[in-house]
Chain A
């Protein structure tokens, strides 16, 4: 009672652990035998000799025109993920070109040694805290190494606290001075 194309053994392998008993498996397989029978009753209509000859003629003539690589590439580009990625890449390239074509500051050739200046005061803003450092602060507190004045507000309307941080004696002594 086995189907010649689809044996009971193969059928059982398709449904592992699904049937509790051999009888249940056989019953189920028998229900599929009728499906198999229908499938076997529906052969594909063959191509006519003329159609076969025509297909061969065209395929053989076409073999020299090998555009397969072009179609393969077009096929790849037609996939949505590839198109999306290509769009992102093109967008990035466009942005890069647009930004790099903006007018830049012109470099001026200067003869002789360049003067190097350092900002006398640097102010760092960290939320409600401002840190003042640089030559100006060092001049104000010449005895203190790496002096920094930190101005901190605990709230929007709170009175700011001013603290001087620095070191003495080559960093041996740490200075915290409320101003």
Chain B
């Protein structure tokens, strides 16, 4: 418990602009898990996610002065995190870093598909879903991640991705259909 814990995000930002490190730490720890979730689900590589998260927070601390209170800090942070993660993902793809679904993971995934009675645990689910999300374009994935996992309104997602709300809905619909198609075999086996 620090002296800043009860302060609003906006009050913390003011303190950070005066150079208050404790306020920065408080703001950081308040939102780090959400930023990490967003980065992980967009970048799809848990080993690279910390680098992406760091990039997000560097941008946040450098550009806090440009943050305007017209929208909530959380919404602004979601936008920074999503766009940084999209750029990070594209950059890593260009540089030829495949998503961290290594051969062993893939093999175990295939093996588990052949064992219907095996418990569908969290790790397996994570890998199944990661593989399914990898097949979806990064914009579609981002729209879906922000809507489904982070419960952002479609309007805010549209602002984040700089597109129309209809486009966001199309992204989400395609992502859902793709996820169902990809996970269908698994689902049928479980029923």
Chain B residue contacts of A52, Cβ below 8 A = 28-29, 32
By secondary structure, the A interface counts as helix
Given A6-B148, A39-B148, A55-B54: A66 in contact with B62 (beta carbons within 8 A) = yes
Against A, the Cβ 8 Å flags (1 = close, 0 = not) of B129-161 are 110000000000000000011010000000000
Given A14-B176, A52-B29: A59 in contact with B183 (beta carbons within 8 A) = no
Against B, the Cβ 8 Å flags (1 = close, 0 = not) of A11-43 are 001110000000000000001101110110111
Bound CA span A51–B25, Å: 14
Interface size band for B:
35 or more
Bound CA span A45–B33, Å: 10
Given A35-B176, A59-B57: A42 in contact with B46 (beta carbons within 8 A) = no
How far is the CB of B142 from the nearest CB of chain A, in Å? 15
Is there contact, CB below 8 Å, between A43 and B186?
no
How far is the CB of B115 from the nearest CB of chain A, in Å? 17
Total cross-chain contacts (CB, 8 A) = 97
Q: Which of B2-10, B99-107, B120-128 lies at the interface with chain A?
A: B120-128
Bound CA span A60–B183, Å: 41
Interface on A for B, CB 8 Å cutoff? 5-6, 13-15, 31-32, 34-36, 38-39, 41-47, 51-52, 55-56, 58-60, 62-63, 66, 68, 75
Interface on B for A, CB 8 Å cutoff? 21, 24-25, 28-29, 32-33, 36-37, 40-41, 46, 50, 53-54, 57-63, 87, 120, 122, 125-126, 128-130, 148-149, 151, 169, 172-173, 176, 179-180, 183, 186-187, 190-191
